[in-house]
């Protein structure tokens, strides 16, 4: 499979990143942007060798950023997890400045879209962390947490009170997603001018030992289908999340690498934004998926091919230690 992938079909992309190639690549790079789940860790377990690789990158003067579609943590909480699992990074008041999660970037998006609205409010199908990031930019929230059915008939469900100040429905990762929440979301979205925003469209979230759970994209699709509306998506591969990084980091795309485990989010974002791309095989996508995209007649799939691949980001260590 590797030999077929390296042949590159009609292009020379998806080459194994050897130590020699990695040294040449890193010599031309200032910034490396990493996905987190499936790249740095699985669940609460760091990918073996990944903390050492990032420590070596920091020691070599490279600037690191972390772009995650996961909306269940604030920037500060992600920074704490990075430090706890051995990846380093700033602490104190500057904690979180390296992290660009969909909770934070969704807040920036709503701040732009709801500018000028008096006391803007969002109905949030998501976590306390997502609500906290929204509140930090002045958007208050309702809907977080369990919301059981009220009454025993559809008529009763439709009579549940709505907040008249809600201007947006935001769908993130929500373990309390329910039929009552779906019904309320659709009712809000029937009101003129109410925005529908999804943090990301990931279909599954990888955990330890090859396990996974349903991702936020499953919930976004449910709301889209019920409301007959298309959501504005914040996370990868949407360019908006990269623009958030670029505005705060001042990135030169030609000297930036995107490292991820998913072809349809991480790698597609990198290709779309003119970055160099590395696929790591510790998460969702496989070399078989790459081969399928290379051989596809669909131009959008042909875009989802990385420049390089590694078995794990620990494979960068020899280039950094040599």
pLDDT of residue 94: 83
Q: How far apart are CA 203 and CA 75, in angstroms?
A: 22
Residue 55 within any structural domain of the chain: yes
Alpha helices for the chain (secondary structure H): 2-7, 19-27, 50-59, 75-84, 102-113, 128-136, 154-158, 179-189, 216-227, 239-249, 268-272, 287-295, 299-302, 317-321
Report the distance separating Cα 40 and Cα 206, nearest Å.
Answer: 12
- 242 and 220 housed in the same domain: no
Contact predicate 164/140, CB 8 Å: no
- Per the annotation, the verdict on 35 as an active-site residue is yes
Per the domain annotation, does 5 fall within a domain?
Answer: no
Tokens read off for 234: 């914040």
Regarding whether 224 and 124 lie in a shared domain, the answer is yes
In a shared domain, residues 222 and 272 = no
Q: Is residue 77 part of a domain?
A: no
Which residues lie below 8 Å from residue 39, measured CB to CB, with a gap of 6+? 47, 50, 259, 260, 261, 266, 280, 282, 283, 313
- Look up the CATH number of the domain holding residue 23: 3.40.50.1000
Same domain, 38 and 147: no
User: Both 220 and 157 in a single domain?
Assistant: yes
- Answer with the one of 182, 201, 231 that is the final residue of a domain: 231
Distance (Å, rounded) from C-alpha 139 to C-alpha 150?
Answer: 26
What total number of domains does the chain contain? 2
Omega before 237 cis (within 30°)?
yes
Q: Which residues pair with 123 in a beta bridge?
A: 142, 169
User: Residue 11: pLDDT band by 50, 70, 90 thresholds?
Assistant: low
> Are the CB atoms for 49 and 17 separated by under 8 Å?
no
Is residue 99 situated within a structural domain?
A: no
DSSP annotation of 37: B
Q: 293 and 199: one domain?
A: no
pLDDT at 221 over 60: yes
Q: What is the pLDDT of residues 134-176, one digit of tens each?
A: 999 999 999 999 999 999 899 999 999 999 999 999 999 999 9
- Domain match, 30 and 130 both: no
Mode of pairing for the β-strands spanning 276-280 and 31-34: unpaired
Let me know if residue 89 belongs to a domain.
no
Going by C-alpha positions, the residue among 224, 225, 133, 189 that lies closest to residue 233 is 224
| Options 11, 28, 30, 37, the catalytic residue | 37
* Residue 94 covered by a domain: no
Question: Residue 100: inside a domain, yes or no?
Answer: no
Whether residue 246 is found in the same domain as residue 263: yes
Q: What pLDDT digit, counting tens, does each position of 61-104 carry?
A: 999 999 999 999 999 999 999 999 999 988 888 889 999 999 99
Measured N-to-C along each axis, helices 102-113 and 128-136 cross at an angle, to the nearest 10 degrees, of 40
Q: Are residues 64 and 156 in the same domain?
A: no
Tens of pLDDT, residues 19-72: 999 999 999 999 999 999 999 998 899 999 999 999 999 999 999 999 999 999
Which of 176, 207, 231 marks a domain boundary?
A: 231
Nearest to 54 by CA among 26, 16, 18: 26
Please give the pLDDT value at position 207.
77
Listed residues 188, 206, 231: the one ending a domain: 231
Do 63 and 122 fall within a single domain?
no
| Residue 141 shares a structural domain with residue 39 | no
> What pLDDT is stored for residue 65 in this prediction?
97
**Which residue range(s) make up the domain with 275?**
13-68+235-317
Candidate list 28, 35, 202, 315, residue with the active-site label: 35
Q: Please check whether residue 97 lies inside any domain of the structure.
A: no
Q: Which residue has the tokens 């958007």?
A: 139
Same domain, 171 and 271: no
């Amino acid at each position: 499979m590797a030999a077929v992938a390296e042949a590159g079909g009609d292009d020379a992309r998806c080459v194994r990143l050897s130590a020699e190639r990695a040294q040449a690549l890193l010599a031309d790079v200032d910034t490396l942007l990493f996905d987190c789940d499936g790249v740095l860790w699985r669940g609460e377990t760091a990918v073996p060798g990944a903390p050492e690789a990032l420590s070596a990158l920091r020691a070599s003067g490279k600037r690191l950023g972390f772009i995650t579609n996961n909306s269940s943590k604030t920037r500060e909480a992600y920074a704490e997890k990075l430090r706890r699992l051995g990846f380093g990074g700033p602490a104190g008041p500057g904690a979180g400045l390296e992290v660009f999660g969909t909770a934070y970037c969704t807040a920036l998006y709503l701040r732009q879209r709801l500018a000028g609205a008096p006391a803007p409010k969002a109905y949030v199908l998501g976590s306390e962390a997502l609500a906290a990031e929204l509140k930090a930019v002045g958007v208050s929230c309702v809907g977080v947490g369990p919301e059981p059915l009220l009454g025993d008939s559809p008529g009763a469900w439709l009579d549940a009170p709505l907040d008249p100040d809600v201007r947006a429905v935001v769908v993130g990762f929500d373990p309390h997603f329910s039929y009552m929440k779906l019904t309320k979301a659709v009712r809000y979205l029937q009101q003129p001018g109410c925005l529908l925003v999804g943090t990301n469209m990931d279909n599954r979230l990888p955990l330890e030992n090859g396990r996974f759970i349903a991702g936020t994209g499953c919930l976004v699709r449910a709301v889209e289908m019920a409301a007959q509306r298309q959501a504005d998506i914040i996370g990868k591969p949407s360019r908006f999340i990269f623009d958030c990084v670029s505005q705060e980091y001042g990135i030169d795309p030609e000297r930036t690498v995107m490292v991820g485990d998913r072809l349809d989010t991480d790698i597609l974002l990198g290709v779309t934004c003119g970055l160099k791309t590395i696929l790591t095989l510790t998460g969702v996508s496989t070399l078989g998926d790459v081969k399928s995209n290379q051989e596809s007649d669909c131009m959008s799939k042909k875009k989802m091919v990385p420049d390089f691949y590694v078995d794990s980001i620990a494979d960068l260590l020899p280039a950094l230690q040599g």
